[in-house]
Structure 1
Amino acid sequence: MHRNTQTISPYYQNVIIRGAKRLNYNTQDLLQAAGLPEASTERQSPEIATNLIRSVWQVMDDEFMGFTQQRCKQGVFAIMARQAIQCQTLREALTQGTHFYQTIRNDISLSFIEGSESDSEAVLTLQLKDESLDPDHF
């Protein structure tokens, strides 16, 4: 029998909830919709974490969950993903996704930097223009 051992730190769930609370959203409803108890200290399955993120996106109509100066309407990520899925390589998808968000957003700075040919590392960086909106560094 295969058992899924992948889990996500409760830190991320708690930061999302604190962000919603800071913007006066009913966090109990968000937690309940995701199937989570209040202020959990337990690691969560990826499915439950995804449910929480989807609940927050839906209730706030903001895919950036209140951590940016302007809402990112629900559906923007899906549009970008539909474009990126057509790319032939991960490099091409990351380059296109970076360009997409840099084109439509003024409140974030997104960059994709590749190392030299001998260096196989690459760095994808997201910087908020107003970091005070994300005091917990989600």
Structure 2
Amino acid sequence: MPVRRHFEYGSASNHYITALYHAAEERGVDSARLLELTGLNESVVDKPDQRVPAEKLALFQKLIWDDLGDESMGLSGYRLKSGSYYMMGQLTVQKSSLGQALALGARFYNLLTDDDFITLHKDKDVVRLVIRPTEMHLDPDHLFAEICLLAWHRYASWLISDILPLTETRFPYPPPNHIGEYHYLFPGVHRFNHTELALVFPVHYLERPVKQNAASLKAFMSRCPLELFRQYKADYSLATELKLILSKAMSNGTGTIEHCADKLHMTTRTLMRKLKDEGTSFQQLKDVVRRDKAIFFLGQQGLRINEVAEKVGYSDPAVFTRAFRNWTGQSPRDFRQQLLTDSEA
């Protein structure tokens, strides 16, 4: 039976509406007026604990794009005129494979910016799609950086009518306050404080055929930028089910690959093969679950670091600390202190 697919709507971190509001205001836009056109008002700005509907966030971004006539919103050092993303789509949707489409899309943006703004690099089994904004200081909240990553990942997934699995996503900055949003926006491993802003995915996906056309492109673009804030998903994926099993099993120490394979009624070899087909691995998924649980528990001030370590399956706090630093770029203690500082600000 073919797997039915859908797009998942939801809410978004307040970070995005706040960052958009201030970025537009600094560039002479009447942000309050545009926000009212979405049905929201200024009371939602600078409220870290308050989420906003993704549809309203997307409309606010579209209104800012139109007001400035710049899809980079003055955050990149380049002016990307309104319609640039659509024009890129019109060129690339005609290609036969994802690799050809991405290469042409990169060339298009490099002509617009007269620079190596987007580059593709093959490294053995993976491909890196690297984004190089020239004026990073113009984007202190990393808003444009995230939107670029989302725009390329969502478009690539849409082109092949499937999720483009991310081996990892690289960020040339520390873990942001809204890091909890990244699990949904950028599924896979996150590398912070990296030397580049990049999406990394399995090289064989470059051969996947483009399954869209000019008509479906028009419909896709009419839904942008909302498409950027929601993830193309299959109704079923082994990775999703495995993360649920791991989340339940981790507290009692049964989160082994043998335990999970047994729960899924398959051999460990079959489990590993199926996960590879989905562009991930058991260890990657286990790290994602551990990271997300650790972040949740670190937000509970009554738990000591060693207790958090035990809750996510580490008997040695030092090993947990090294793992957490690898996931987020910070130690658990520093991460907790940052959460506390942010909540008091």
TM-score (norm: length of structure 1): 0.80
C-alpha root-mean-square deviation of aligned residues, in Å? 2.3
Written as runs of structure 1 = structure 2, the 5 A alignment for 1:49-128 is 49-106=57-114, 109-116=117-124, 119=125, 121-128=126-133
Q: From the superposition, tell whether residues 70 and 88 of structure 1 become closer, same or farther in structure 2 (CA, over 3 Å).
A: same
Residue 70 to residue 86, structure 1, CA distance change in 2 (3 Å) = same
- Tell me the distance in 2 between the aligned counterparts of 1:88 and 1:104: 23
1:63-122 CA deviation, whole Å, 9 max, x = no partner?
111113342211111111111222223222221111110111137722222332xx2x33
Does the 8 Å CA contact 1:68/1:107 hold for their aligned counterparts? no
Say if 1:68 and 1:108, in contact at 8 Å, map to a contact too.
Answer: no
Identity of aligned residues (%): 26
Whole-angstrom distance in 1 between the partners of 2:23 and 2:87: 25
Counterpart check, 1:16 vs 2:20:
yes
SS at match of 2:11: coil
TM-score (norm 2): 0.35
TM-superposed deviation, 1:5: 5.2
Q: List gaps (5 residues or longer) in structure 2.
A: 1-7, 144-345
Quick check: 1:47 aligned with 2:55? yes
More helix by share: 2
Mapped to 2, the partners of 1:49 and 1:123 lie a distance apart of: 29
Q: Which has the larger radius of gyration?
A: 2
Q: 1:19 deviation in Å?
A: 0.9
8 Å contact kept, 1:107–1:130: no
CA contact (8 A) 2:38 2:60 kept: yes
Contact 1:8/1:44 (<8 A) preserved: yes
Equivalent in 130, 133, 138 of residue 133 of structure 1: 138
Q: CA deviation at 1:27?
A: 0.9
User: 2:51, 2:114 → 1: CA distance?
Assistant: 34
Displacement after TM superposition at 1:45 (Å): 3.6
CA distance in 2, matches of 1:13, 1:24: 17
Aligned residue type for 1:15: A
Aligned structure 1 segments of 4 or more residues deviating by more than 4 angstroms: none
The 1:49–1:102 alpha-carbon spacing in structure 2 relative to 1, beyond 3 Å, is same
